Amino acid sequence: MKVRLKDEVGDAAYRSWLRPITLHDTSEGGVKLALPTRFMRDWVNTHYAERIRTLWGAENPAIRNVEIVVEAARAASATQNATKAKAVPAPAAEPARATPPCAPATVPSNDTDELGAPLDARFTFKNFVVGKPNEFAWAAARRIAEADQVSFNPLFLYGGVGLGKTHLMHAIAHHIRERNPERSVLYLSAEKFMYRFIRALRGQDTMSFKEQFRSVDVLMIDDVQFIAGKDATQEEFFHTFNALVDQGRQIVISADKSPSDLEGIEERLRSRMACGLVADIHATTYELRLGILQSKAEQMGAIVPQKVLEFLAHKIISNIRELEGALNRVVAHSQLVGRAITLETTQEVLHDLLRASDRRITIEEIQKKVAEHFTIKLAEMSSARRSRQVARPRQIAMYLAKQLTSRSLPEIGRKFGGRDHTTVMHAVKKVEELKECDHNFAEDVELLRRMLQG
């Protein structure tokens, strides 16, 4: 029967949902089939149960009822493992030592066998500066950290590089451990998850791997986009995800794009990641950058003139990581050389960074250059017109905005008349397709790129 089902549903669906089925019990006129989690049982009941009953009845007409259940032994084993994990006392955290401005302070992990990554002692809710671009993600992270029961699962944080995703994840872990040390929290990158899985496969110890990851109270995976195109790792993460959700455990995930925009990730996994709460961290505003600099200077105990902070907030706009790095350099230079921090010394110390910032391209510049090139009005970039004469330049401008700026897809869409991020995705894909088959079109796009980067 399984061979027939595999032929009908395809190899991927068969491996995910039907291969784990085992025969649980038989009785007169009926059979019980078992799956390891409630989520898998419900999915199979919804999508495949009727077909299974039909095929089973065709092979043995005496079977009139097929029931799909959750195998108690596996569920009990998972609960038992979770209890054991909780019973391991967490080592007391050592006090964080004073560190140089750019050196991260870390606290030891309480994960069994150091399964996860260490947490940065600086990344707490107290040190997170909240502003309009990140207030929703911050509020969601606080809710997760303070809740005794799962509110939404998973929490999916996404945004560009250096905007605070990792800070919020570390803050959640710190807060949970301080509030309830008995709860087991596991934080690690998707890359580390993959390497541990590969090591388990090579050592033929996948059961131990599964037990470790599926017995935690809170699983936090950073930069999940790393497992794009890695099918075996995605399948293991999918089943780990299902097992934890089935047990009512919390999952927190971060990525550089929203679940629907993650390329190379299987549809079933993208769907699962999007089923909780998805929170976008937008690019920083001037006010938020200034607030971050003021907070950072205060933490460092450095006296930095307000004019210097305002200058940096205006000039370093790419991401928070680069902004804090710039302040670190200015303060370190002052301390090492013994000179007061002034606007002049700041420009001198950061001359290379400021030159790079001055060369950064904005979406407005791209729109203007493309409109001039195709002799259309700049207003058409945001208009609702769909004629090819207007739509094609608009798509090229969206493509170049994606290639030449650090803005997210939703941000780009908003700059083009409030369009949805899926419209930007379509534009990028369309331009890439046309570049492949139309040499003149490709030359046009490349010319525009060179002019903008000039």
Write the CATH number for 449. Answer: 1.10.1750.10
Count CB-CB contacts under 10 A for residue 306: 10
Does the global pTM surpass 0.75? no
Mean per-residue pLDDT, 437-449: 86
Give the pLDDT confidence score for residue 83 in this predicted structure. Answer: 37
Q: Do residues 218 and 257 make contact, with C-beta atoms less than 8 angstroms apart?
A: no
Give the pLDDT confidence score for residue 354 in this predicted structure. Answer: 79
Give the pLDDT confidence score for residue 351 in this predicted structure. Answer: 84
Residue 94 included in any domain: no
Q: Is the pLDDT of residue 84 over 90?
A: no
> Do residue 134 and residue 260 come from a single domain?
yes
Q: Residues 153-208: pLDDT tens digits?
A: 899 999 888 889 999 999 999 999 999 888 889 999 999 999 999 988 888 888 88
Q: Is the pLDDT of residue 437 over 50?
A: yes
Instruction: Please tell me whether 84 is known to bind a ligand.
Output: no
Give the pLDDT confidence score for residue 12 in this predicted structure. Answer: 65
- As a whole number, the mean pLDDT across the chain is 83
Give the pLDDT confidence score for residue 390 in this predicted structure. Answer: 92
Overall domain count for the chain: 4
Mean per-residue pLDDT, 231-243: 92
Picking from 281, 308, 343, the residue at the C-terminal end of a domain is 281
Give the pLDDT confidence score for residue 282 in this predicted structure. Answer: 84
Q: Is the pLDDT of residue 99 over 70?
A: no
Residue 97 included in any domain: no
Mean per-residue pLDDT, 370-384: 90
Picking from 358, 388, 421, the residue at the C-terminal end of a domain is 358
Residue 102 included in any domain: no
> Do residue 256 and residue 405 come from a single domain?
no
Return all residues near 442 (Cβ < 8 A) that are at least 6 apart.
434, 435, 436
- pLDDT class for 86, splitting at 50, 70, 90? very low
Residue 254 included in any domain: yes
- pLDDT class for 104, splitting at 50, 70, 90? low
- pLDDT class for 101, splitting at 50, 70, 90? very low
Instruction: Please tell me whether 165 is known to bind a ligand.
Output: yes
CA angle 29, 30, 31 (to 5 degrees): 150
Strand 185-189 versus strand 218-222 pairing type: parallel
Give the pLDDT confidence score for residue 439 in this predicted structure. Answer: 85
CATH number, domain of 346, equals 1.10.8.60
Nearest to 358 by CA among 412, 314, 304: 314
Q: Do residues 171 and 124 make contact, with C-beta atoms less than 8 angstroms apart?
A: yes
Burial class (CB in 10 A: 0-12, 13-18, 19+), 193: buried
Give the pLDDT confidence score for residue 60 in this predicted structure. Answer: 82
Q: Alpha-carbon distance 439 to 322, whole Å?
A: 38
> Do residue 217 and residue 135 come from a single domain?
yes
Give the pLDDT confidence score for residue 72 in this predicted structure. Answer: 52
Nearest to 231 by CA among 44, 5, 12: 12
Mean per-residue pLDDT, 407-429: 90
Residue 98 included in any domain: no
For residue 228, the 8-state DSSP code is T
Residue 124 included in any domain: yes
Instruction: Please tell me whether 413 is known to bind a ligand.
Output: no
- pLDDT class for 357, splitting at 50, 70, 90? low
Give the pLDDT confidence score for residue 178 in this predicted structure. Answer: 92
Give the pLDDT confidence score for residue 144 in this predicted structure. Answer: 92
Q: Is the pLDDT of residue 81 over 60?
A: no
Give the pLDDT confidence score for residue 136 in this predicted structure. Answer: 92
Give the pLDDT confidence score for residue 82 in this predicted structure. Answer: 38
> Do residue 249 and residue 375 come from a single domain?
no
> Do residue 321 and residue 414 come from a single domain?
no
Give the pLDDT confidence score for residue 75 in this predicted structure. Answer: 44
Tell me the CB-side half-sphere exposure of residue 284, using CA atoms within 13 A: 28
Q: Alpha-carbon distance 208 to 199, whole Å?
A: 11
Q: Read off the tokens for 411.
A: 């941000």
> Do residue 261 and residue 159 come from a single domain?
yes
- pLDDT class for 96, splitting at 50, 70, 90? very low
Q: Residues 281-314: pLDDT tens digits?
A: 887 888 889 999 999 999 888 889 998 998 888 8
> Do residue 274 and residue 218 come from a single domain?
yes
Q: Alpha-carbon distance 202 to 195, whole Å?
A: 11
Picking from 221, 254, 281, the residue at the C-terminal end of a domain is 281
Q: Do residues 408 and 163 make contact, with C-beta atoms less than 8 angstroms apart?
A: no
Nearest to 346 by CA among 298, 313, 386: 313
Residue 103 included in any domain: no
Mean per-residue pLDDT, 44-67: 83
Residue type, 52: I
Domain of residue 64 covers 2-70
Q: Read off the tokens for 372.
A: 């001039």
